[in-house]
Amino acid sequence: MSYTIALAGKGGTGKTTIAALLVRLIKESGAGSVLAVDADPNSNLGECLGVEIKESIGAILDEIAAQPDKVPSGWTKDRFVEYRVQSAVQEEEGFDIITMGKPEGPGCYCYVNNILRAVMNKLVNDYDYVVIDNEAGLEHLSRRTTRTADLLLVVSDATIVGLKAAERIAALVKQLGIKTKAQQLIVNRWDEKLEKAKLDGLDLKYIGNLPLDEEIAKISLNGASLWKLDSESKGLCALKKIEKTILEK
């Protein structure tokens, strides 16, 4: 049975980095097959995983919405969308990745979005783990990918502003009617000045923190792959300590 982890957080908290590191840990631990879903319009997950993205779902939607006559003769639009979405899944060494992107054209996307959601719901069942890197507002989670997630993993930085943003994200999940079995909080770039008492009373279960890791920061600054990160780096070791809590089905 597939286990879906949806990551969210305000910009700059490092959620995409943590999403990529989770994909790496799942692969290296041999826990099962994993699909990485880049649902952030900024589409940086592929870069973090050292992948050159060839096609996004947004581009596919643009093409079909603007030119519906491109559906091959004898095909239904549903079947054509399903085929194109499946062809957009890139098979990499030890994981697959699909990039949602953002439609830019003037076409109507209501119909194809509904088909896409159904296709994605079937697609994720082909994997043991699905890691979804969402934009902060989580609109992609509701509109395009799936209406359920086993785990909502919210990433905050070590600031009160970050924690308040994390609370708003948790509240938005309820407003959107997204069903989650668990909601957890990770504080990235931990600062001892942030009193742990500030974490009490949140509608999120605090499961741990990651320290500021200069090696991760350097890799991110250079736009390099996180596969190059040393296995003994502070950030990766900290994530390993809470890996079981995150991946436990």
pLDDT, residue 226, reads 96
Q: pLDDT tens track of the chain, all 249 residues? A: 899 999 999 888 999 999 999 999 999 999 999 999 998 877 899 999 999 999 988 888 888 888 888 889 999 988 898 899 899 999 999 999 999 887 676 666 566 566 667 777 888 889 999 999 987 656 555 554 556 789 999 999 999 888 998 998 888 888 877 888 999 999 999 988 887 767 877 888 999 999 999 999 999 888 899 999 999 999 999 999 999 999 987
d(CA 222, CA 216): 10
pLDDT, residue 144, reads 47
pLDDT, residue 244, reads 94
Print the domain residue range for 224. 3-51+89-107+125-247
61 inside domain: no
User: Which residues, in sequence order, are CB contacts of 9 under 8 Å at separation 6+?
Assistant: 15, 136, 154, 155, 156, 162, 165, 166, 169
Beta bridge partners of 11: none
Q: Kindly report the CATH number assigned to the domain that includes residue 183.
A: 3.40.50.300
d(CA 231, CA 238): 11
| Residue 11 DSSP label | T
pLDDT, residue 248, reads 87
74 inside domain: no
d(CA 123, CA 169): 26
